[in-house]
Structures are given as C-alpha cells and as structure tokens.
Chains A and B, each alone.
Chain A
Amino acid sequence: QSVLTQPPSVSGAPGQRVTISCTGSSSNIGAGYDVYWYRQFPGTALKLLIYANSNRPSGVPDRFSGSKSGTSASLAITGLQAEDEADYYCQSYDSSLSGVVFGGGTKLTVL
C-alpha cells in the first residue's frame, strides 16, 4: 500500500466543490516536505496541477487549489466540470525511505 493515503474515490455534481485528502506521517508531509498534485486521464501522461502545496503552474485554472496542514494535504476543485473526471495523485518526499512517495490515487467521478 501507498505511503500517502488518499480516498479511493470521490464524487460530485457539476458546479459543486470537492476535496481530495492526502494523509502522510512525520517522515514526509509532517516533516515539512512539500506536497504536489497530479491529474491522470486514462491512457494519457500525468499533468502537474499543484506544486509546493498550494501553487498552480501556468495554465491550470484557479478552480484547483491546494493546502497543507500538519501531516495532511488537500486538493480542492470548485465549479466541478465533466472534464474533471480523472484520477488524482498526491506526491511528497519521505526521509525514512529516502525517496519520492505517492498517494494511491483518487478517482473523481462527476455525477
């Protein structure tokens, strides 16, 4: 199982707000390492959505936002759209493992 814990699935209706949690521990998120978020459509390359906890790369809509507190982080998506339906992954670094770690991924379904 993954070092970072994400809910397997979340869902929401168009226009609603959803959040995806990412829970770590004292050797990764809780140790102060930044959290990053990616989106993956089936069969396509992953796309960076959020870097350094809460920053959006150029071109990512402001409907996407990230936050971090303690040993957890969250990705929020407002104004949900059908095209947001995808898998979402969080990522950080773990000092005990001396490597990059990912969450198990969350499948977002737009109802």
Chain B
Amino acid sequence: QVQLVESGGGVVQPGRSLRLSCATSGFIFSNYGFHWVRQAPGKGLEWVAVIWFDGSNQYYAGSVKGRFTISRDSSMNTVYLQMNSLRVEDTALYYCARDLGHFSRGSSYFDYWGQGTLVTVSS
C-alpha cells in the first residue's frame, strides 16, 4: 500500500538548519511530484514547496523562498526538505503529500499524505 513517512523533525534554535525526509513506498516514485505542507500549532494548512516528478522544477511559498530547498532521491524513493535560517514562525507540523495533479497547470492536489513531523524553532 501507499505510504509516506516523514522524519527529521525536532527542536532547533532560530537561525539553525534542519533536514526533513519523506520516505515513500508502494508506488512508482518517479511518476509523481511531491509537496511539503505545514500546519502551525492550532492553525490551518500552509503550502511550502513542490518538486516535479522528474525533479526538474521546484517552487516555493514566499515565506520560505531562499531559505528552504526541496529535493528528491529516486534511488531512495525519498523526498527532502532542507530548511536553513529557521525562524520561530517556521514552527509547525510538516507534512509530505503526493501530487495527483499538475502544478504547472495550477491543478495540484494530494491523494496521499504522511502523518507529519514536528519542527519546533525556539531559543
């Protein structure tokens, strides 16, 4: 069955870095794009980043552009989110989600989500 399992979250000081991983299984990894979506405590969902099925393009929310980098490793069936210069406002539960649509056409949507990994940025 399709599985997405996030890891790598933790407590980190402002200005430091963290790398999240999303290990996938149960489907052909190279056929799909992936997104990271976050949810601050008690808040709604916020889209973070997308990487295309072949890794050729990445797009970011304005709040993380220049600080976060999304990447993928087809040999490991894993998606990553490198987060640098972390801020207190980056504190959230970070979800990985599989894209069943087409971001280039504005039709991305998510058929499978992971359970999330918690990132806490605090001094």
Contact partner, A101, options B47, B113, B116, Cβ 8 Å: B47
Given contacts A33-B107, A45-B116, A100-B50, 14 further A-B contacts (CB under 8 A): A44-B115, A46-B113, A57-B111, A89-B45, A91-B45, A93-B106, A93-B108, A95-B106, A98-B59, A99-B61, A102-B37, A102-B47, A104-B43, A105-B44
- The answer to whether residues A34 and B47 also contact, given A45-B113, A45-B115, A99-B61 and a CB cut-off of 8 A, is no
Docked Cα-Cα span, A8 to B107, in Å, equals: 25
Number of B residues, CB within 8 Å of A: 27
Q: Interface residues, chain A, CB within 8 Å of chain B?
A: 2, 33-34, 36, 38, 43-48, 51-52, 57, 89, 91, 93, 95, 97-105
How far apart are A64's CB and chain B's nearest CB, in angstroms?
15
Inter-subunit contact B44/A104 (CB<8 Å): yes
**Is B41 at the interface (CB under 8 A from chain A)?**
no
Q: Give complex CA distance A37, B103 in Å.
A: 17
Pick from A44, A51, A100, A102: contact of B44, CB below 8 A: A102
